[in-house]
Amino acid sequence: MIGACAGTTGLAAGVLALRFTGIELLAFGLLAGAGVVAAAIDVVERRLPRRLVVPGLGVLGGLLTVEAAGTGRWENLLTALTAAATVGLAYLLVALASNGGLGSGDVTFGALLGMAMGWQGWATVVTGTAVAWLGAAALLLVLRCVGRRPRAIPMGPFLLGGALAALLSG
């Protein structure tokens, strides 16, 4: 599992380096590394570790603040913070309505990824969120077609995959 996480993180960071530089690359590269580990833990343990995700909010927010201060992109920072709150609130509502189908770790992870996508704009937030949920829905559909009816699936890999896809296409 460690080798797979390292390889996936390296691949994600390499692809991100094709699109971003400087502080943005550092911010999104750290997000990819922490996100890959969190998603792997979610697959194995069916939980997203708060000890990893919550500090990620502070680190990402701090790095994006440094980038905004250096480039004058304060509007991007405001959008990132608003997107974090919006995605986090939306996921909280889903968690409350789903009766355990979505956990508090998913809510926090969604806020973290919302912040990253929000830096690129609302279109990136919508795209990344839609890709994540459509991917999860497709897996559930396939599982049901083969006769398996899971109560829930780990959302971490889908949330991260949607966010990274949107960041790269943005």
| pLDDT, tens digit, 9 for 90 and up, residues 10-57 | 888 889 999 999 999 999 999 999 999 999 999 999 999 999 999 999
CA neighbor of 165 nearest in space, from 6, 19, 10 = 19
pTM of this structure: 0.93
Give the per-residue pLDDT at 170.
Answer: 73
Provide the domain limits for residue 113.
2-169
- Cβ distance 132 to 106 under 8 Å? no
- Cβ distance 102 to 93 under 8 Å? no
What is the signed CA dihedral for 15, 21, 22, 24, rounded to 10 degrees? -70
If you search the block for the tokens 């949607």, which residue do you land on? 162
Question: Using 50, 70 and 90 to split pLDDT, how confident is the model at 105?
Answer: very high
| pLDDT, tens digit, 9 for 90 and up, residues 157-169 | 999 999 999 999 9
| pLDDT, tens digit, 9 for 90 and up, residues 113-152 | 999 999 999 999 999 999 999 999 999 999 889 888 777 7
User: What is the domain count for the chain?
Assistant: 1
How many angstroms separate the CA atoms of 98 and 69, rounded?
Answer: 40
